[in-house]
């Protein structure tokens, strides 16, 4: 996380301003999207995309496994 972003987040936390939309925006883009919200969109698949859209599913799965290793 960029030091300036982290500094702003810590400032909002120190002020107890957890309901501030800026706080949530910073967390969402700089923490949640990188560490929590990992999803794979398979445009040609259904709820069983591992069968319906194998090429997208397998390449996404490999990318995910390499990222968490």
Q: What is residue 34's DSSP assignment?
A: I
Contact 27, 9 (CB under 8 A): yes
The answer on 56 and 43 residing in a single domain is yes
Of the pLDDT bands very low, low, confident and very high (cuts 50, 70, 90), residue 61 is confident
For residue 30, CA distances in Å to 3, 6, 44, 64 come to: 11, 9, 29, 18
Choice between 69 and 31, residue whose per-residue pLDDT is larger: 31
The 10 Å CB-count burial string (b at 16+, else e) for 32-44 is eeeeeeeeeebee
The answer on 26 and 43 residing in a single domain is no
The answer on 53 and 31 residing in a single domain is no
Number of domains within the chain = 2
The answer on 43 and 30 residing in a single domain is no
Domain hosting 18: range is 3-36
The answer on 65 and 50 residing in a single domain is yes
pLDDT in tens, 24-48: 999 988 888 777 777 777 777 776 7
């Amino acid at each position: 996380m960029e030091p300036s972003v982290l500094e702003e987040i810590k400032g909002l936390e120190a002020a107890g301003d957890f309901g501030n939309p800026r706080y949530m925006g910073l967390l969402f883009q700089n923490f949640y999207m990188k560490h929590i919200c990992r999803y794979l969109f398979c445009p040609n698949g259904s709820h069983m995309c591992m069968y319906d859209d194998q090429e997208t599913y397998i390449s996404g799965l490999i990318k995910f496994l390499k990222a968490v290793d």
